[in-house]
Amino acid sequence: MARGRLNSGSKAEAELPKAKINKQSLRKIGRLLSYIRPYKAKFIGGLFFLILSSLVGLAFPGFFGALIDASQGIQRYKFMPADLSSIGKIAIVVLFLQGFVSFFRITWFVQVAENALAALRRDTYFRLITLPMNFFANRRVGELNSRISADLSQIQDTLTTTFAEIIRQVIIMVGGIILLAIVSIKLTAALLIILPFLIGIAIFFGKFIRTLSRQAQDQLAESNTIVEETLQGIANVKAFVNEAFEAGRYQKNLQQVVNIAVKGAKYRGLFGAFIVFCLFGTIFCEIWYGSYLVSIHDNGMTFGKLTTFIIYAAFISAAMGSLPDLYANMQKAVGASERVLEILDETGEDISINSTENLIKQQLYGKISFNNVVFAYPSRPEITVLNDISFDAAAGQRIAIVGPSGSGKSTMAALVLQFYHPQSGTILFDGKPASDYALTDIRNQVAIVPQDVLLFGGTILENIAYGKLDATKEEIIKAAKRANADMFISSFPEGYDTVVGERGVKLSGGQRQRIAIARALLKNPAILILDEATSSLDSESERLVQEALEELMKGRTSIIIAHRLSTIREADKIIVLEKGNIIESGSHAELISNEQGLYRYLSQLQYDVQ
């Protein structure tokens, strides 16, 4: 098993460390059993059939022995007829029974595991997307993705296969040893002296090889990170002509993977040779000693008995050999479960999985106030990003926030959206603290048109409908018309059904913005946040977007994060931020008249440049 993983490890696979299996960890992951509970009957049925099929499986070596002895005229078991055809018939019935039982145990286990896992996946995903923004700041998307894919797949594998295999192999091993002892106590004693010794060495060796293979996985994961990062930032790589540098970096990493893998392969080869030699050696010695016992008719020893014995011995060796790997898989599943539970145990935002519970309960009218808001990102608590910010926006007003890059403009928008909460001070909506509202009430009534509009893979229609999931097609088209988007959408052969996103049509920045505006119009929020695009559009596109924005801002409170000061002259209030402090505020006319002011300076700078 480990071999497969040595070189094929994707990043996700490589990140599956094992955990200790002890009472504590088992109790912890026992909570996941609640996902199996709805399918309890099938699970117990599957378990019963599993035990039954394992026990029936143990009868076969007995049949083989009985057949061989019957061919020599010896009756092996008193309860079984000594003629070949009767034994054959019984064996066929038992085989049929075995097949029947196996069918149900496999399908039932898979049904239980698939259903339980789907529910667990859904809950983990839902918890993940309802976690506060800060959770995401500290983690890489790849890592979170692997929890949903690799960790849950590991749990799934364990539930569908490993768990059943462990039970099966333990039954075979214990049952096999008992039956062996019945066949020949001498041969069993000889086998049990050699086997544990072999298995002890195998486990020790296996552990060592696994450490090496884990190192290879880690190294491979690192090289996969290089691929991921360069592909994500491919434009940067190209722009800096750093292809050769990246290829070199990747190559260096790959070489290390190869070095570790080759080192691992040597030990693995040695291990294989040892197992083959010792395993075959043991079987040979057993046959040798067994044949000797047959030749001296020791304690009624026959060829049939010897055959039964050899097959049991092979069964037991295979079971013992597979247990360490199965156990390692269990350990991985325990580790994976612990990590999934970590997500499930995080406190999510107060959003329900049932969409009707997220409907608006308290109407917002659009008045916003910041009262002495002090804020630092939880991931960087030592840096105060907003310092004692206070301002009021009456319902329907336009408030522009301007200031140099990094001054905290987007952070203010994030606070309005309740992505984060201030360390001190309060944010009020219609005079009431944000905490008096359901989180969904605020987010449902605040819309943001971001700088860089991300469209989901899907049709334009679906993308606009993201603003109001139950919108009718008429509503969507109306919103698109008001957003100046209908014209370009209708010019596509598939119109509103045109697929956009990664696998679809690429839209221009201005077009994407107009889709986002249509989305926001459909949402019909009381408060609007416009994060103005920094990259300027061509003048026609600019006019269309500007017109659409004007339409969108009508009758709502708008907070405009402005990069181009020309667009905010009409704002009711302009707040000038610098290093997280409000250093000026007022109307355009007031601010421009302050000769020493930052606003006037920034305006001059922009007009000089333009």
Ligand X SMILES: Nc1ncnc2c1ncn2[C@@H]1O[C@H](COP(=O)(O)OP(=O)(O)OP(=O)(O)O)[C@@H](O)[C@H]1O
Of the candidates 408, 467, 510, 525, which one interacts with ligand X according to CB under 6 A?
408
CB 428 → ligand X: shortest distance, Å?
A: 21
CB 498 within 8 A of CB 544: no
130 binds ligand X (CB under 6 A): no
At 529, phi and psi to the nearest 5?
A: -115, 120
Q: Which residues contact 331 (CB under 8 A, 6 or more apart)?
A: 18, 19, 20, 21
Evaluate whether 382 touches 557 at the Cβ level (below 8 Å): no
Q: Please, are residues 279 and 314 in contact by the beta-carbon 8 Å criterion? A: no
Token pair for residue 457? 């893979």
Q: What is the CA 43 to chain-centroid distance, rounded?
A: 26
> For residue 236, what are its two tokens?
């940067």
User: Looking at 88, 406, 433, 457, which residue binds ligand X (CB under 6 A)?
Assistant: 406
Task: Name the token pair of 551.
Answer: 């339409």
Judge contact between 187 and 293, C-beta under 8 A. yes
Report CA Rg, the chain.
35
The residue range among 54-62, 69-77, 298-306, 409-417 that interacts with ligand X, by the rule CB under 6 A, is 409-417
- Pick 315 or 420: Cβ nearer ligand X: 420
Beta carbon nearer to ligand X, 377 or 391: 377
Contact 301, 294 (CB under 8 A): yes
Q: Would you give the DSSP letter of residue 454?
A: P
Q: Smaller CB distance to ligand X: residue 403 or 525? A: 403
Near ligand X by CB under 6 A: residue from 217, 329, 407, 484: 407
Neighbours of 144 (CB within 10 A): 17
User: Please, which residue, 75 or 534, has the CB nearer to ligand X?
Assistant: 534
Q: Which of 255/423 has CB closer to ligand X? A: 423
- Identify how many contiguous H helices and E strands the chain contains and give both numbers: 23, 12
Between 349 and 475, CB nearer to ligand X? 349
Nearer Cβ to ligand X, position 385 or 448? 385
Least distance from ligand X to the Cβ atom of residue 386, Å = 8
Report how far residue 470's alpha carbon sits from residue 476's, in angstroms, rounded to the nearest whole number. 10
Identity of the residue numbered 465:
A
Q: Is 411 in the site for ligand X (CB under 6 A)?
A: yes
Among 72, 354, 363, 405, binds ligand X (CB under 6 A): 405
Query: Would you say 293 and 118 are in contact if contact means Cβ atoms under 8 Å apart?
Result: no
Contact string 540-569 vs ligand X (x = CB under 6 A): ------------------------------
Number of residues counted as binding ligand X (CB under 6 A):
13
Instruction: Report which residue type is found at 456.
Output: F
Which of these ranges, 75-83, 100-108, 403-411, 486-494, lies near ligand X under the rule CB under 6 A? Answer: 403-411
Closest CA to 340 of 587, 70, 35: 35
Binding characters for ligand X, 351-390, by CB under 6 A (x = yes)? --------------------------x-xx----x-----
409 part of the interface to ligand X, by CB under 6 A? yes
How many residues comprise the chain? 610
Q: Binding of ligand X at residue 141 (CB under 6 A)?
A: no
State yes or no: residue 422 binds ligand X (CB under 6 A). Answer: no
Burial status of residue 529 (CB atoms within 10 A of its CB: 0-12, 13-18, 19 or more): buried
- Shortest CB 376 distance to ligand X, Å: 8
CA distance 165 to 127: 32
> Which C-beta is closer to ligand X: that of 307 or that of 411?
411
- Is 139 near ligand X (CB under 6 A)? no
Return the residue of 26, 118, 137, 185 that touches ligand X, per CB under 6 A: 137
Closest CA to 309 of 192, 202, 197: 192
Binding mask 518-537 for ligand X (x = CB under 6 A): --------------------
Please count the other Cβ atoms lying within 10 Å of the Cβ belonging to residue 121. Answer: 18
Shortest distance, position 100 Cβ to ligand X, whole Å? 59
Distance in Å, CB of 576 to ligand X, minimum: 11
Subset of residues 157 to 176 that bind ligand X, contact rule: CB under 6 A = none
Among 410, 426, 524, 594, binds ligand X (CB under 6 A): 410
The neighbour count for residue 579, using CB atoms within 10 Å, is: 14
With respect to ligand X, which residue has the nearer C-beta, 478 or 564?
Answer: 564
Per CB under 6 A, residues contacting ligand X are: 137, 377, 379-380, 385, 403, 405-411
